[in-house]
Amino acid sequence: MTDLPTPLEAARAKQLSAEFGLKGDEYDRVLTILGRTPSLTELGIFSVMWSEHCSYKSSRFWLKQLPTTAPWVIHGPGENAGVIAIGDGLAAVFKMESHNHPSFIEPYQGAATGVGGILRDVFTMGARPIANLNALRFGAPDAPRMKRVIDGVVRGIGGYGNCVGVPTVGGEVNFHPRYNGNPLVNAMTVGIAQADRIFLSAAAGVGNAVVYLGSKTGRDGIHGATMASTEFAADSEDKRPTVQVGDPFAEKLLIEACMELMATDAIVAIQDMGAAGLTSSSVEMAGKGGVGIELNMENVPQRETGMTAYEMMLSESQERMLMILKPGREAMAEAIFRKWELDFAIIGHLTDTGRIVIRHHGVVEADIELAPLESQAPLYQRPWVPTPKLPVLGAVPDPVGLKAALLTLVACPDLCSRRWIWDQYDSMVGGQTAKRPGAADAAVVRVEDHKRALAMTTDCTPRYCLADPEEGGKQAVAEAWRNITAVGALPLAITDNMNFGNPEKPEIMGQFAGAVMGIGAACRALDFPVVSGNVSLYNETEGRGILPTPAIGGVGVLEDVAQAIGLAMPAGHDLVLVGATQGWLGQSLWLREIAGREEGAPPPVDLVAERRNGDFVRAQILSGAVAACHDCSDGGLLVAVAEMAMASGIGAVLEAKGDHAFWYGEDQARYVLAVPAAAPVLAAAAAAGIPATRIGHSRGGDLVLPNGDAISILTLAAAHEATLPALMRDGA
Amino acid sequence: MKAGIILFPGTNRERDMGLALARVTGAKPAIIWHGESELPAGTDLVVLPGGFSYGDYLRCGAMAAQSPIMRAVAAFAARGGHVLGVCNGFQILIEAGLLPGALLKNASLRFLSMDCHLKVERTDTPYTSHFQPGAVFRSTMAHGDGNYFASPETLDTLEGEGRVVLRYCTPEGAVTPDANRNGSSRSIAGIVSENRRILGLMPHPENQVDPLIDGTDGLPMFESISACFATA
């Protein structure tokens, strides 16, 4: 043992530990591990590593219950991103991550750095990012500041994704007053790698160089992970200095430099510096590898002068990576990074001590044994109460008729066209996007130089999750699985982004537990394991939680991109509804938007029916029998048909099949298929014991409702398209 | 034909362009690093692809126009070489003085990623010979700074010399303000040099060359290029 760091004065350390977010008993554990009072740098390391954001201390107990394996899963949770085999020796690497708190404080940079962070999680594993998606929840559009938040988030996502040249191909948006003070920005990246060329983060090789890559370190984002683990109070806007600034140009260079170096055999391990920056990357890499690590902070490339070890270890400056190199490869690696005009600095080496030692100009600033930092990290089984079940809604009379309801629904914020958003995202760069936003239930992107394509989607229905977290959790997974199925792809795996309120409240923890149970049940029933994820808790403002929002990002595969179908309904086709309709109006958008009620149990998810109906629909699509397909979700059957009509500009004549509950109920496990003739599909469905019925025929320019009312598709589309531009009118 | 694609830091549509050229020539073009000072011997066509060279942190294309390779590109152009600049490549050609005018922020001050329709104003250029006279084709745009601007005199000169090759239009071919989403002067989407061998355009026909991706509406441009060198 060499020098020890200078400890803080005991009372000061105790006070600072509370300011850094450590609970009293957590701080006592720090004292036990160290056997002394920590230095400032040590206290910073403990507090960020044990923050909710980095340690998952409230959620780990539950997350362990999720299914994470399948024959095609190469790496499940625990790496920078999940990895699955997709055939042809290829792997898809993907993850979704939240940037909720920063995006409320500074919408543009919060969203932009969210995209940057998730991209790094994917390319650090050796995958070239081929698609970005997102899942966004905003407050009521007329809430204070909300337009600015929406505008900033959309510009931020576009500003970053467009510049790095990764197409933004899909996403979802909801509006609800419960997000007024805490919008959600969940960003997902999907990349492609050779399945036998995956890079991991476990450090190895005593004496190997620890290399810092990318942009310089500044004082931005210090303690960002701690901020992301506390509730918002009225002073949150004062926290702006803890939000980082994104540099997508540096990220683009970092992608290209990493891809170039990864084509060689120089790298032992690599990880991005995300939340908690240099601290989490160095601690996790050394910890996973069971080695020690020594860092010399004066060698860290710095953007500002006079930075302390504490500041450098806690900085969340963006576009940085940490890498362990094989001996003798330093010069070659440095040449690549210099060519791309990026910083490359050897800042330390691996040791056999099992400790992290931080030196700055020779002075020891931290010296911590790594094993207890992880093994003794807090783990809470927080008290929870199950969410009370709501009664099933009784019959609700139809106050306005089918036609007026349809015109209202297609224009309401949760169902209106998202064109205003996706028109600001480059969805085509890369030249492989086969199904762009709005073209199909899932985005479809081909793998360059292959026929194979990935289908990708993000889904969650928060109002269902609030009413019944377990059914809502099931539904989010089932809808992702359906959306992938509806383009003809085989769903393979998901990433989950769990956005909830304060876990210290038993009812919030009950929402979390319920959602995990529902997600787990659906994943098992659908062979759709969780391979990566992220948890964002404390999404509350002034004591009120958001709607529980377990956003699901799903990925599936098509063997040939030519098999992919969209939702645009061509003329002269029969419309066939697959799946049973009971007319479930509880928690439906019709109930909220037309009857003005948010009530009742949400639609139950019959996972056996989901699996059976979806497998049937996919087989029909792959047999070439289906021209267009769309799942029934928000707004029910009639909205699904209207969306298929608006996508093609072709109308349809619908048959008398039932009342408003039939047409607007949100029963699950249903798809609308446009087929040349209904009879063979109905016969196949009957043979398979699957409910299916012909509901109409596509033709002309009007949607003709069962009662004879006709709506021009142009009128419908005009209402559908007008909402967001009117809401967001520049200068308004 | 031997094509070379220049790669600047921040270029991001080089693979798209490579695929489009490979589709008509059968060979992936060379990628040329911006720090080089010479083009590969025997280069027939130089392409400046789309992207965000230097992050667009200064004026779009201004930094890239100062790259070492641009001196070689200018010399190549002066010798009568063929140069195609798309999107950021068009911005770089203008910043390098190889084409006139300027590309301002879109009139809406927003990034625009959407379909556009283009009217082919003349088919006697190396880039448009395989379009029918008066053809209208669908392409996509993806830019924040594509609002073409030039002085009235320059615009008149361009028009007078027949150097406006592509204009934004409706699917039916009408040149209207609504079809001109980025607000370009006289709906200009693409212009050529006096010798017609340098073309700069904002849209991305390289993304419309594959029936399985986004259709083949842009393919005639690449067939024109290929034919130009097949007969040369």
Is some CB atom of chain B closer than 8 A to the CB atom of A277?
no
Which of B19, B144, B204 is the closest to A428 by Cβ?
A: B204
Q: What angle do CA A615, A621, A625 make, to 5 degrees?
A: 130
Q: B-side interface with A, Cβ within 8 Å?
A: 9-10, 12-13, 15-16, 19-20, 33, 35, 50-52, 54-57, 108-114, 140, 142, 144, 204, 206-207, 209-210, 212-214
pLDDT tens string, chain B, 232 residues long: the values are 999 999 999 999 999 999 999 999 998 899 999 999 999 999 999 999 999 999 999 999 999 999 999 999 999 999 999 999 999 999 999 999 999 999 999 999 999 999 999 999 999 999 999 999 999 999 999 999 999 999 999 999 999 999 999 999 999 999 999 999 999 999 999 999 999 999 999 999 999 999 999 999 999 999 999 999 885 4
Q: How many CB atoms lie within 10 A of CB B212?
A: 17
Set of chain A residues whose Cβ sits within 8 Å of the Cβ of B21: none
**What six digits make up the tokens of A413?**
């914020």
Q: Is the pLDDT of residue A732 over 50?
A: no
CA neighbor of A323 nearest in space, from A353, A289, A285: A285
Give me the pLDDT at residue A644, please.
98
Does residue A215 belong to the interface with chain B, where contact is any CB pair within 8 Å? no
For A554-577, the pLDDT digits (tens) are 999 999 999 999 999 999 999 999
A253 with B10: Cβ contact below 8 A: yes
Give the percent of chain A with pLDDT over 90.
Answer: 91
**For residues A656-664, average pLDDT:** 96
What is the reported pLDDT for A52? Answer: 87
Write down the pLDDT at residue B74.
98
Tokens of B125: 């250029």
Enumerate the β-bridge partners of residue A698.
A652
Residues A383-433 have pLDDT tens digits of 999 999 999 999 999 999 999 999 999 999 999 999 999 999 999 999 999
Instruction: Specify the pLDDT at position A1.
Output: 47
pLDDT digits (tens, 9 = 90+) for A584-636: 999 999 999 999 999 999 999 999 999 999 999 999 999 999 999 999 999 99
Report chain A residues whose CB lies below 8 A from the CB of B51. 165
Q: In the prediction, which pLDDT does A89 show?
A: 98
pLDDT at A232: 53
Confidence category of residue A731, pLDDT binned at 50, 70, 90: very low
> What pLDDT, on a 0 to 100 scale, did the predictor assign at position A223?
65
The per-residue pLDDT for A239 is 54
**Neighbouring residues of A112: CB distance < 8 A, sequence distance ≥ 6:** A156, A157, A159, A160, A246, A248
Q: How far apart are CA A677 and CA B165, in angstroms?
A: 46
pLDDT value at residue A245: 85
Classify A140 as helix, strand or coil: coil
Q: Is the pLDDT of residue A219 over 90?
A: no
The fraction of chain A above a pLDDT of 70, given in percent, is: 97
pLDDT, averaged across chain A = 95
What pLDDT does A729 receive?
84
Res. A144: pLDDT tops 90: no
Q: In chain A, whose CA is at the least distance from the CA of B140?
A: A428
Catalytic residue among A75, A99, A176, A630: A99
CB proximity A237 to B under 8 Å: no
Task: Tell me which residue in B13, B52, B110 faces A163 most closely, judged by beta carbons.
Answer: B52
The yes-or-no verdict on residue A49 having pLDDT over 50 is yes
- The whole-angstrom distance between B82's CA and the closest CA on chain A is 24
Confidence of residue A53 (pLDDT cuts 50, 70, 90): confident
DSSP per-residue string spanning A502-521: -TTSHHHHHHHHHHHHHHHH
| A·B CB contacts under 8 A | 97
Question: How many other CB atoms sit within 10 Å of the CB of residue A15?
Answer: 12
Parallel/antiparallel/unpaired status of strands B45-48 and B82-86: parallel
Q: How many helices (H) and strands (E) does chain A have?
A: 25, 28
Q: Which two tokens stand for residue A493?
A: 């795996």
Both tokens of residue A272? 């991005």
Question: A469: helix, coil or strand?
Answer: helix
Give dist(CA B228, CA A539) in Å, integer: 61
Cβ contact, residue pair A431, B16, below 8 Å: yes
Provide mean pLDDT across the span A524-543: 94
Q: Which one of B111, B140, B178, B216 would you mutate to disrupt binding with A, by most A Cβ within 10 Å of its Cβ?
A: B111
pLDDT digits (tens, 9 = 90+) for B91-149: 999 999 999 999 999 999 999 999 999 999 999 999 999 999 999 999 999 999 999 99
- pLDDT (mean) for A274-280: 88
Cα R_g (chain A), whole angstroms: 26
> Residue A220 pLDDT > 90, yes or no?
no
Q: How far apart are CA A234 and CA A238, in angstroms?
A: 9
CB A278 within 8 A of CB A300: yes
Give yes or no for A254 touching B (CB within 8 A). Answer: no
| Residue A488 Cα, gap to closest chain B Cα (Å) | 15
Structure-token pair, residue A412: 């309401």
As a whole number of angstroms, the longest Cα–Cα distance in chain B is 45
Main-chain phi, psi angles of B90, to 5 degrees: -65, -45
- The pLDDT tens digits of the residues spanning A281-308 come to 999 999 999 999 999 999 999 999 999 9
- Closest residue in chain B to residue A169, using alpha carbons only: B113
For residue A433, the chain B residues in CB contact (below 8 A) are 213-214
Does the model's ipTM exceed the 0.90 cut?
yes
DSSP for A249-279 reads HHHHHHHHHHHHHHTTT-EEEEEE--TTHHH
- Judged against a pLDDT cut of 70, whether residue A2 lies above it is answered with no
Q: Is A689 exposed, middle or buried (0-12, 13-18, 19+ CB in 10 A)?
A: exposed
Strand partners, A459: A552
Q: Which sequence positions of B are flagged as catalytic? A: 87, 204, 206
Does A241 score more than 70 pLDDT? no
Is A53 labeled as catalytic in the residue annotation?
yes
Q: Is A338 in the B-facing interface, judged by CB distances under 8 Å?
A: no
For residue A242, pLDDT beyond 70: no
